[in-house]
Structure 1
Amino acid sequence: MNNSSDDKLSNTDESLQNDELELYKVAYQNLQQRHTALFKLNQLSQDCKELSTFYAQVHRVIKAIMTAENFYIVMYDQTLSTLEFVYHVDEEDEVPEDPVPYESFRGSLTSHVIESKEPLLATPNMIKQMANDGVLNHIGTAGMDWLGVPLLQDGYVIGVMAIQSYTENTRYTEEDKALLTYTAQHVVSALVRLQDHEQLQKAVSSRTRELMEQIREREKAELLQESLYRISELTNRVGLDINDFYGQVHNIIGQLINAENFFIAKYDRESDTIDFVYYLDQNSRNTASDFLPQKSADLYTALVVRRKQTCLLSYDEMYELYRQGETKKPQKETNSWLGVPLIADDDVIGVLVLQSYQKHITYNQQDAELLNFVSHHVSMAIKRRETLDYERRTHEMLEKQVKMRTEALEEEIRQRKQVEQMLKHNASHDDLTGLPNRVVFLDLLDHAINNMKRRPEMEFAVLFLDLDRFKMVNDSLGHHAGDLLLKVVAKELKSIIRANDTVARLGGDEFVVLIEDIDDKSEVYEIAQRITFTLAQPFNIDNQPVFIGTSIGILFSDDRYESAETMLRDADTAMYHAKDSGKGRFEEFDASMHQKIQEELSLEADIRQAIEQDEFTPYFQPIYQLDSAKVIGFEALARWQSSKRGMVMPNQFIPVAEETGLVVDIDLQIMRKACDQLKQWQAQGLCEQQYVSCNLFGNHFYNPTLPDDISHILNSAGLEPAHLRIELTERVLLEENEVVLANMKALKQLGIKLLLDDFGTGYSSLSYVHRFPLDVVKIDRSFITDAHLKTSNRAIIKTIIDLAANLQLATISEGIECQEEADILTQMGCLYGQGYYFAKPMAGEKATALLTASK
């Protein structure tokens, strides 16, 4: 009996051991299977080359270790606050293909994992409870279990990996959550590696494209260089017929630009005639008579001559010129027209023209720049050809003269005498006006001084003239118009003075008159009055009325004068006194003017000493964002706390500083101190994004070391370039100087923004400004004042703001004095402003208090 019971117990234990062994085998197999899957995932993270195939392979691996028919990976961009479903397989739900705002998925299980940074195993009861608690409001298609784990990189969530079941047959456990969490670490490692690999590939591709573009640019440069060499070579081929010369120039240009319709026109200034010396035209409507020499009048070629600059025109632009009466009506066949001036010795000697009658051939700005560059070499080539032809013809003429023996020799002697007389005249007279030059005038003045010493009754006077608005005419209408104006003025002056008096041109727009043998000062005053009245009348220059006026300094003879230079200096001083007193008038020199000169010299000496002693300091005027009244920056304005003079305001020292060039050192001193102050505010935590804006005198931009000078200031202050802005006036832009443009581009590359100050007070327009790398236009205070009362001012302001916005330029309004002006500017779309309404310029201490209060 006992033996039988023992046998039964033995059998039972053996059965239990077998069942337990079977469970261990299953567990071992599951463990083996998961180990193999994880090994594959780890290997996948090393071997996979593209993200596009990586996600599907991850899905296959996970399906091997758990039920994951419904699976997705979503990437989270924290910077852009977006979600992108990079991989998604689901029986019920659909997801967007493109990135979507994160806000649209806030309240979902996915967002819960992102915000908690923790894995989540959500059962139906748990999901229901979370919804009731308000944690979830975006659930999607109802299912069974949902399991999601965060993809973490350096502690930040970069995405979520999730699986989901819709049936009771598939449920997930804590073990599944742990396994999926572990799997996510391998997925993140592979993702980072593959993303870095893709970024590297993109960088390599970008650099490859850049190198290919450089190669193409180099090939274009080599072709251009070869073309210019060939043009230069043509010049030296003495036996080459001029028509063949033009033809080969056409062939060379045709290799650079489409030149199926090509013209070379010569311009004769004396007769105002255009001669088409070479042309090739495909338009059947044009005949040989269309290319005969003719008056310039309304030709488009003449437009280039008048403007003395490249003209790139579409048909619509040509028609608009015709409608304005400036040119003739264009042919309907014309699609694009490009003309560049041929300039030699600052005179237009002709025009190169390209014309297209085909819609698919339209010239662009790059073509214009290229043809303009080539035109300089063509001009020189034509000029050299003409010189060679002239020398050849001269040689032939001399040979004929030699053969004519005595008669020819006499003719040559006569011609040489004429040349000598002409050279003598040119040496003593101004080329443009034909008036005596400075050398002759000083000689005549010295003679008058010596003559009066012998005969005291032989009194005389000197008038020193300067045209008041000549520079404005020269800048706006061009040098050609300025030259014409100087000729007209010279003619008028000669008609006013007496027969025994002398008028001379010193240079530029300065003239002098020597009035000899005077009996009474009233004679001189009368001449000065007639000159002032005459030059105040409008002159017709290029069919346009021009107003100038003149300021005159009068100096009467005196025993104290020993030299002409001294007298000319004092007459010049009287002229400047007249100009300072309001222009369009004359002033007689007196001793008080000496005192003014001495004061200016003393002020100049004090300014130099102040620069050495570092006395100039910045005052800060806040610049506000108009819609929020938030300080976004400061304009640094120069103030001088002189050890001798006390506080000196800018209107007292800036004119002298600009005239002597000392303003350059003052500007850099103000910039250095302003940068130091802004860095100090940053260190105190008073500002983060604010900037300081510094004014630079125009001469700075002609200095090729300007970018290095400013970089040194920024480095010394420890200030980022993004926190410095530079203000310049539009006068700097007028000449389009290469050094100016290079400096502006270099400053932009440093990260410094450029502001155009006092816009609207000079000669530029936004259509002109867009050619320069500017960021901001500052609207001059003259338009802002009483803008709420003046409709015309508001119209101008609105136009500037809209055009600036189209050119992607910001606008700052200066001189805002009241709430009404600020409101109107805000309504018009102006973002920023400054003025006494907000705050006056203040010392650094007060600006610190302002920033402290705003914090």
Structure 2
Amino acid sequence: MQSLTDRAPGTDTGNPLAWLWALSEADSAREVARQVVQIASTLPDCTHAQVAWRLDAKTAPDCEPAQPIDAPDLEMLQAAAAEGSAWRDDRRRAAFAFADRAGAPVLLLAFAQPQPGAGLPLSFIDMLRIADRHMWRQLALAGLLDTVAGLEHAERLQRALFAIADLAGSDRDMPEMLRGVHRIIASLMYAENFYIVLHDAERASIRFLYFADVEDTTPRDPAREIPLASREHTLTWYLIRDGVALMGRTEELRRQVSGPLAVIGPDSHDWLGVPMLRDGKVFGALVVQSYIDEVRYSDKDMALLEFVGSHILTALERKQGQAALEESVRLRTQELAEANRGLQLEIVERQRAERLQAALFRIAQLATADISQDEFYRQVHAVVGTLLDARNFFIALLSEDHQTLAFPYAVDESNEVRGSRPVGRGLSEYVLAHGKGIFQTDDILVLADQGHIDLDMVGELARCWLGVPLQAGDEVIGLVVVQSYSEEDRYTPADEELLTFVASQIANSLSRRRAALIQQQALAQLELRVQERTGELRREIQERERVQEQLKHQVMHDALTGLPNRGYLRERLERVLNLLKRDARRQCALLYLDIDRFKVINDSLGHLAGDDYLREIAQRLLTCVREPDLVARLSGDEFAILLEQVPLPGTAVRVAQRVLEALARPLLIAGRELEPSASIGIAIADSGYELADALLHDADVALYRAKALGRKRFELFDASLQKRAVDVLTMERELRIALHENQFVPHFQPIVRLDTNQVQGYEALIRWNHPERGLIGPGEFLQVAEESSNIEAIDWWMFEHSSALAARHFSDDRYLALNVSALHFRREDFCGRLLDTLRRTGLPPSRLVIEVTEGSLLDDPEGVRDILATLRRDGIGAALDDFGTGYSSLSYLHTFPLRVVKIDRSFVARLGEPGSGNSDAVVGSILALASALGVEPVAEGIETEAQRDRLLAMGCRFGQGYLLGRPAPLGDPPTAG
């Protein structure tokens, strides 16, 4: 091969200055290529010049000019691009790579009848060097522009997410917030037609929370619940049911959905909908659509809408939570306002009672005061005048023979003079006889017409007349009267009641000896009533204040331990994170704790003991922190410690070590000495954290890692833990795919009679035939399956396939053992479903044994016992797996209908070895217990001849392990060793 600087056809022609000017004017890499092609075409004998891009792509390269390139020329161009130099072949072709880097354009030249010995013009070679620099600059500039465009897009997206978060935290109502969300979405893509639908899985309904459409203007009530079944086979129904985004025209959407498509409303030119997901569950969907043919959505729009959708879901949840809190506050404020109004009325009543008390107390004093009778009457009149209208007031007294009525005191605006007169048919006599006190003018006239009174004895008629008898003991001795000559002043029953009391005081004053005693008793009774009422009011106020404080404390604190709860912790975290934003040098730490094996303790010792256990844990945690650090109980056996000021991560580590040491001290609960422990996840927060939930999530991820590494330890959160959490999510998704695509394979391990090596049955063990990782054992995926709620579906797959294989391949005297998760014992239909599976696969129930763990027995002893008894009546046996490793084996074993007890491999492992006395004793005890209870023991994990011989010597007849046969698919002979 020769370089372009070697001899080649052509002569030094052209105008170099014009070349340089044309190259300097080029404003893009393609324009530089176009100028180079034009300049090259002026070379003598050059029949063809072409610049090509994207030589490494699978599709045809881009060319300038846009003409196809044949295969030999394409190979030469790719070689030139790889070497970054010029080439020439036998066909008299030449290629030159610009910018000397991958992806750069390459120039192809073709010559016809070149003159021998001729070379390329030096000016053209120099031009290529200059063009190379121009090309490099333009490519670099284009890369920078792409980078800037990407950053601008990321900035717009970030601003949109911030705006959504601000809307959720603002005091705007829900419709205004949703209109703001619509505007934000419209700033990122075409979203003139947009709606948000929320899904309630428990109620199987949806609500159109927001709806905007230029074609479909029918209003949607955001509060109206629509049964999801009524929208079956619509695009919204598929989004919520399948949880998969959909995009395209109607015909394209028909091919994307998993069934028939029902179109509701106007047909759009393009449609894009994404589900709003949280923890794999669909909580709603976002939809945009276009009625304009030129507007089409892309995969970028779908990815953007999915990304924004999760933040909108968070904003909606936050806004709905805020609305619920505001409604709760509003109702509570209304209740307090009602209570306050009642209290104000009580205060007014109390003030009135106090005024009445003062007046009556004064009258009581007058009744026993050492003053003249006239002075007594005048002061009584003054006191009565403070309580009601008493401008016209008189007191009348009966003589001892009740024949004369005297008026010892009278004040009247009419200047009427009242002296003594015989008892007749006056209004005063009518009150003395009947005890009725309030009369209007018309009432007086009616009494006169009826002949009850004589108007001549009444005097000037009053507009309202009130008289009350004076009664001393059982005897009426006179009356006291007030009257009004004005239409505006009218007396009420309350005035009558007051005047009645005044009259009693006046009557008492007429007999001093009796009056002193009556006055003392009345005063004592009155003071007692007032004090009781005052005390009641004070106690009511104190009780209301106490209830308010108690409610506030209960809302933000855990009732069992008295520690702050999750809501209190989140509020505190939000405040601390705001402080970190203002001071970037500050750091805080969150320790997320999970008490190890609390469920076992709770089930073994009872809930009361479990409560005592948690209270003691809370007290120990409080001793490990100082102000202003916070200890909170989140839920169940989960606690958290917030360290507000952490100068170094080591500070949080030291606190975690103190916590582990404090919890490790023995604890006496329900008569048993326990050694508590905990797993701790630590997340260090700086100004980069925006939300409290993010910090809680990271601490939880670290906690999950600590538990996975063996508990009783702590782990710091870092990026690798986040990746592991993502890996768990990946495995959850792959498990669902594996279940759908039948990637699981049953393996069967023989259960052998130890003295004859005769196979008695097989235990079915699951394996995962992963398409990329190959065969995977259960230890790598069962825990993820249990935590993701996939274990029940996997178990039923295993029951179905294992039973079918056993029915076809096992001899009639061999049984099948299946491991059953504890979750199945919480299902009421477990027994019926299992029997239906056996009938369908053809395996007799008498040849099936289900293996349960001690944790399954402890979860719901009564319920599990009933299920095992039901299965036993149908012929299905039960085996207790890994016996001896739990907490309550001996206390529960005799109460369950078991056929087999499987001795855990940890006890078998040391049999036959020197110093294995403890293992011998444990195994011997289990064998003796099994014999006493009438159940058959089976030893697990037999791997050596010594272990088998020792078990035979101890009386164990059956066992399984690698010595006797490894797990294998049916059709492969079991391998020993």
TM-score with structure 2 length normalisation? 0.44
The corresponding residue for 2:836 is 712
Unaligned runs of 5+ in 2: 1-527
The corresponding residue for 2:897 is 773
* Partner Cα distance (1:643, 1:518) in 2: 47
Matches within 5 A, 1:38-49: none
Matches within 5 A, 1:67-216: none
* Partner Cα distance (2:975, 2:699) in 1: 52
Deviations 1:449-499 (CA, angstroms, capped at 9, x unpaired): 123223333432111112224334333333333222222221222222121
User: What's the secondary structure of 1:844's corresponding residue?
Assistant: coil
* Partner Cα distance (2:751, 2:646) in 1: 61
Shift of 1:543: 5.3
The corresponding residue for 2:917 is 791
Matches within 5 A, 1:366-405: 404-405=532-533
The corresponding residue for 1:523 is 651
Provide closer, same or farther for how the CA distance between residues 751 and 540 of structure 1 changes in structure 2, counting only shifts above 3 A.
closer
* Partner Cα distance (1:769, 1:759) in 2: 10
Shift of 1:699: 0.5
Deviations 1:626-667 (CA, angstroms, capped at 9, x unpaired): 222111100010011122332111111111112112121222
* Structure 2 residue 731 is matched with structure 1 residue 607: no
Shift of 1:540: 3.5
Q: Note if contact 1:460-1:518 (Cα within 8 Å) is conserved in structure 2.
A: yes
* Partner Cα distance (1:528, 1:450) in 2: 25
Q: Which amino acid aligns with 1:608?
A: R
Q: Which amino acid aligns with 1:510?
A: E
Provide closer, same or farther for how the CA distance between residues 803 and 402 of structure 1 changes in structure 2, counting only shifts above 3 A.
farther
Report which stretch shifted further, 541-550 or 404-413: 541-550
Matches within 5 A, 1:308-327: none
The corresponding residue for 2:956 is 830
User: What's the secondary structure of 1:734's corresponding residue?
Assistant: helix
* Structure 2 residue 809 is matched with structure 1 residue 681: yes
The corresponding residue for 1:561 is 689
The corresponding residue for 2:770 is 642
The corresponding residue for 1:763 is 887
* Partner Cα distance (2:848, 2:620) in 1: 52
User: What's the secondary structure of 2:585's corresponding residue?
Assistant: coil
Provide closer, same or farther for how the CA distance between residues 445 and 842 of structure 1 changes in structure 2, counting only shifts above 3 A.
same
Unaligned runs of 5+ in 1: 1-399
* Structure 2 residue 758 is matched with structure 1 residue 597: no
Q: Note if contact 2:604-2:888 (Cα within 8 Å) is conserved in structure 1.
A: no
The corresponding residue for 1:821 is 947
* Structure 2 residue 846 is matched with structure 1 residue 722: yes
Provide closer, same or farther for how the CA distance between residues 526 and 799 of structure 1 changes in structure 2, counting only shifts above 3 A.
closer
* Partner Cα distance (2:926, 2:715) in 1: 41
User: What's the secondary structure of 1:556's corresponding residue?
Assistant: strand
Provide closer, same or farther for how the CA distance between residues 412 and 509 of structure 1 changes in structure 2, counting only shifts above 3 A.
same
The corresponding residue for 1:841 is 967
Provide closer, same or farther for how the CA distance between residues 402 and 521 of structure 1 changes in structure 2, counting only shifts above 3 A.
farther
Matches within 5 A, 1:540-579: 540-542=668-670, 544-579=672-707
Q: Note if contact 1:801-1:830 (Cα within 8 Å) is conserved in structure 2.
A: yes
Provide closer, same or farther for how the CA distance between residues 850 and 425 of structure 1 changes in structure 2, counting only shifts above 3 A.
closer
* Structure 2 residue 800 is matched with structure 1 residue 672: yes
Deviations 1:86-140 (CA, angstroms, capped at 9, x unpaired): xxxxxxxxxxxxxxxxxxxxxxxxxxxxxxxxxxxxxxxxxxxxxxxxxxxxxxx
Shift of 1:840: 0.8
The corresponding residue for 1:442 is 570
User: What's the secondary structure of 2:879's corresponding residue?
Assistant: strand
Shift of 1:615: 1.5
* Structure 2 residue 710 is matched with structure 1 residue 582: yes
Matches within 5 A, 1:54-73: none
* Partner Cα distance (1:747, 1:542) in 2: 35
* Partner Cα distance (1:518, 1:818) in 2: 55
User: What's the secondary structure of 1:531's corresponding residue?
Assistant: helix
The corresponding residue for 1:491 is 619
Shift of 1:584: 2.6
Shift of 1:761: 0.8
Shift of 1:549: 2.1
Q: Note if contact 1:402-1:408 (Cα within 8 Å) is conserved in structure 2.
A: no
Q: Note if contact 2:753-2:760 (Cα within 8 Å) is conserved in structure 1.
A: yes
* Partner Cα distance (1:410, 1:635) in 2: 74
Give the percent of matched residue pairs that are identical in Structure 1 and Structure 2. Answer: 40
Q: Note if contact 2:965-2:975 (Cα within 8 Å) is conserved in structure 1.
A: no
User: What's the secondary structure of 1:618's corresponding residue?
Assistant: strand
The corresponding residue for 2:349 is none
Shift of 1:765: 2.5
The corresponding residue for 1:506 is 634
Q: Which amino acid aligns with 1:647?
A: L
Deviations 1:305-331 (CA, angstroms, capped at 9, x unpaired): xxxxxxxxxxxxxxxxxxxxxxxxxxx
* Partner Cα distance (1:743, 1:630) in 2: 31
Shift of 1:741: 2.8
The corresponding residue for 2:930 is 804
Q: Note if contact 1:438-1:506 (Cα within 8 Å) is conserved in structure 2.
A: yes
Q: Note if contact 1:757-1:779 (Cα within 8 Å) is conserved in structure 2.
A: yes
* Structure 2 residue 781 is matched with structure 1 residue 657: no
* Partner Cα distance (1:474, 1:768) in 2: 15
* Partner Cα distance (2:856, 2:712) in 1: 27
* Partner Cα distance (1:402, 1:846) in 2: 97
The corresponding residue for 1:625 is 753
* Partner Cα distance (1:566, 1:503) in 2: 19
Number of equivalent positions? 447
User: What's the secondary structure of 1:846's corresponding residue?
Assistant: coil
Q: Which amino acid aligns with 1:772?
A: F
The corresponding residue for 2:587 is 459
Provide closer, same or farther for how the CA distance between residues 544 and 715 of structure 1 changes in structure 2, counting only shifts above 3 A.
closer
* Partner Cα distance (1:646, 1:546) in 2: 43
Q: Note if contact 1:620-1:841 (Cα within 8 Å) is conserved in structure 2.
A: yes
Q: Note if contact 2:605-2:670 (Cα within 8 Å) is conserved in structure 1.
A: no
Matches within 5 A, 1:279-428: 404-428=532-556
Deviations 1:356-377 (CA, angstroms, capped at 9, x unpaired): xxxxxxxxxxxxxxxxxxxxxx
* Partner Cα distance (1:528, 1:679) in 2: 55
Shift of 1:579: 2.4
* Partner Cα distance (1:816, 1:437) in 2: 50
* Partner Cα distance (2:537, 2:975) in 1: 90
* Partner Cα distance (2:652, 2:529) in 1: 54
* Partner Cα distance (1:704, 1:823) in 2: 44
**Which one has a bigger Cα radius of gyration?**
2
* Structure 2 residue 826 is matched with structure 1 residue 702: yes
Q: Which amino acid aligns with 1:679?
A: A
Shift of 1:537: 2.2
The corresponding residue for 1:432 is 560
Q: Which amino acid aligns with 1:777?
A: V
The corresponding residue for 1:270 is none
Q: Note if contact 2:966-2:975 (Cα within 8 Å) is conserved in structure 1.
A: no
Q: Note if contact 2:586-2:686 (Cα within 8 Å) is conserved in structure 1.
A: no
Q: Note if contact 1:774-1:809 (Cα within 8 Å) is conserved in structure 2.
A: yes
Q: Note if contact 1:633-1:691 (Cα within 8 Å) is conserved in structure 2.
A: yes
Q: Note if contact 2:604-2:858 (Cα within 8 Å) is conserved in structure 1.
A: no
Shift of 1:439: 0.7
The corresponding residue for 1:305 is none
Q: Note if contact 1:780-1:814 (Cα within 8 Å) is conserved in structure 2.
A: yes
